[in-house]
Amino acid sequence: MKNLLMATAATALMAGAAFAGGHAKEVKLGVMVGFTGPIESLAEPIAKAAELAMAEVTASGMLLDSATVTPLRADTGCIDNGAATSGAERLIAEGVNGIVGGDCSGVTGAILQNVAIPNGMVMISPSATSPGLSTVDDKDLFFRTAPSDAREGQVMAEVLQDRGIDSIALTYTNNDYGKGLADAIKNSFEAVGGTVTIVTSHEDGKGDYSAEVGALASAGGDLLVVAGYLDQGGLGIIQAALDAGAWDTFGLPGGMIGDSLPANVGPDLNGSFGQIAGSEGDGLDKLKALTTEFDISSPYAPEAYDAAALFMFAMQKADSTDPAEYGQYIMEMANAPGELIYPGELAKGLEIIKNGGDIDYVGGSAVELIGPGESAGTYREIEVQDGQNVTVRMR
């Protein structure tokens, strides 16, 4: 009953917002991140980055009729679908014009299904990477500035192919992330003609992984790909594989890239390689120059800045804050043709749009939306050299 009331109220508000059209003096953007829960340490920079973009636009006075952009925060808990859904409903009730979020893939799917689609609200997630979100029937309401793990699978397959690897053994951490990523790597690698000798899961937090490594070693393969966490079972697997002399080099997806891995494993890890989502270059440098108050290069914070920016560009283009009207322009704003827009140049972008020009927003994460509205994703190819993670090229 409460839901129904909320939904009714929300619909009424939405209608109100629609009538106001492009002449609203205030634009409200929801920021839905897991301020509590497993990624709470990442949540604060993500939210602040999104709010930074909003403050930049408000200060410029270029959006619509010099509208102010107000962020409204709500917590997803990262893994708490109930809290995330009610948080999103509250935002709708407060009359937001778009939602930056959610963060973790599970809650993002829940918000999309339960709140965004029924209310026709547009969401841009900075950090949900599950391949499952690519195939959801999202009524063109869901976008993400983070790449899908399916894309990481393709990149990994390319990296392996370029390095002349014909067969791999694959082990993943036994959860949705690990399983999704392992499936993506397996499918992509087999599509380019590689052989996957075995796919097994491992549990995190065990003392001993020699049995797992024994099974993997029996299956063989040129290389062992470990789709796990670098402080958890992934480290244990690599250690056990080195101890048993089963493999000398390892394939390391994003969850395994970090300074602690080479430090813990030691020189035996040299020569192992992998990739992690991330960008470098002009966009990120310009973003970093914007603020020193928090670490804006923290994981998924550049993506959050870009998500907020895309909302505001699309609103400018549609001359409307109604999701039904501006939603169709989001992809266009991120992609060519048009003038390249970098972080800190949001006002310039808004002006170009106002004068009828085209922009190609680059942003902090070199955003390029493909397929069902998700980031094409740039990846850094990492190789461990002398105990350091070295970026050897971008993909």
**Rule CB under 8 A: which residues touch another protein?**
174, 198, 200-203, 205-208, 210-215, 217-220, 236, 243-246, 248, 264
Tell me the CA distances in angstroms from 285 to 84, 119, 132, 279, 344, one per residue in order: 33, 37, 32, 10, 11
- Report the nearest approach of another protein to the CB of residue 232 (Å): 9
- Report the nearest approach of another protein to the CB of residue 265 (Å): 12
- Report the nearest approach of another protein to the CB of residue 173 (Å): 12
Element (H, E) at 360: strand 359-361
Nearer to another protein, 200 or 298 (CB): 200
Nearer to another protein, 228 or 236 (CB): 236
Helix pair angle (346-354, 40-60), 10° resolution: 50
Nearer to another protein, 164 or 207 (CB): 207
Rounded Cα–Cα distance for residues 196 and 209 (Å): 20
Nearer to another protein, 173 or 275 (CB): 173
Nearer to another protein, 203 or 280 (CB): 203
Residue 103: name the closest of 111, 115, 94 by CA: 111
- Report the nearest approach of another protein to the CB of residue 215 (Å): 4
Asked if 33 and 72 touch (Cβ cutoff 8 Å), the reply is no
Residue 364: name the closest of 391, 338, 345 by CA: 345
- Report the nearest approach of another protein to the CB of residue 209 (Å): 8
- Report the nearest approach of another protein to the CB of residue 266 (Å): 9
Check the CA dihedral 255-343-147-388 and report its sign.
negative
Nearer to another protein, 209 or 326 (CB): 209
Nearer to another protein, 245 or 356 (CB): 245
- Report the nearest approach of another protein to the CB of residue 212 (Å): 5
- Report the nearest approach of another protein to the CB of residue 186 (Å): 16
Nearer to another protein, 200 or 391 (CB): 200
Question: Cis bond leading into 102, ω under 30°?
Answer: yes
Residue 193: name the closest of 171, 221, 165, 214 by CA: 165
Helix pair angle (40-60, 301-318), 10° resolution: 30
**Cβ-based burial of 68 (10 A; exposed 0-12, middle 13-18, buried ≥19):** middle
Q: Which residues pair with residue 277 across a beta bridge?
A: 379
Specify the amino acid at residue 5.
L
